[in-house]
Amino acid sequence: MRIELKGIEETDTFGKRLGELVEAGDVICLNGDLGAGKTTISKSVGLGLGVEDYITSPTFTIINEYQGRLPLYHFDVYRLNDGEDLYDLGVEDYFYGKGVCLIEWAENIQEYLPDDRLELWIYRTENPDERIVELKAFGNRSEFLAKELIK
C-alpha cells in the first residue's frame, strides 16, 4: 500500500490519524533515509495520541517516553551496534506493554521486531515537502491500521 503526502499539512494529518488509531501493544516502524521525515511523522503521531510534550528524536538516548492517551515509546535505533543491545534496554517490556512503540531506523533491528507490526517506508520526492509512504503490514492488527490509514 502506498500513500502520497503532498506537503507538511498532509504529513501531519497522516501522522495524527495514525496516533488516533493506535492501541496499546502496537509497534510502528519508521524507515527511510536521513531527512525522509521519520521524526516529523513521529511528532504527528504523538499529537494524535494527545502527547503535549515536545517530541524529539532520541538519537543519543535510544528511547524517549511520552504520556498521552497511551504511553508513547519513541525509539531511535540508528546507533545500536547490535539488536542484542535492545534486550539490555528491556525492549520486550516496551513491545508487549501498555503503550505504543514508534521505532525510527527499524530496518536495523528487523530480526528482533514483533511479528505484528506496521512498517512505514518513507521516501523523499523531487519536491522537498512531499513524501511517499509505503505501508507494509505484518499481522492482523497492523493490517487493520494500514487499511484505515489509506481510507
- Reported as a pLDDT band with limits 50, 70 and 90, residue 42 is very high
The answer to whether 106 and 113 are in contact (CB under 8 A) is yes
User: What are the tens digits of pLDDT across the range 59-86?
Assistant: 788 899 999 999 999 999 988 866 677 7
CATH level 3 topology of 2-112: Rossmann fold (3.40.50)
User: What are the tens digits of pLDDT across the range 5-15?
Assistant: 999 999 999 99
Which whole number is the average pLDDT over 105-125?
Answer: 94
Rounded Cα–Cα distance for residues 30 and 69 (Å): 21
Question: Where exactly are the structural domains of the chain?
Answer: 2-112
Residue 53's alpha-carbon distances to 24, 36, 48, 147, in angstroms, are 19, 23, 12, 29
pLDDT at 50 > cutoff 90: yes
Provide, for the chain, the percentages of residues in helix, strand and coil under a 3-state DSSP scheme, each rounded to the nearest 5: 35, 30, 35
pLDDT of residue 41: 96
pLDDT of residue 27: 98
pLDDT of residue 81: 67
Rounded Cα–Cα distance for residues 147 and 21 (Å): 11
pTM of structure:
0.94
pLDDT of residue 125: 93
Give the bridge partners for 124, in sequence order.
131
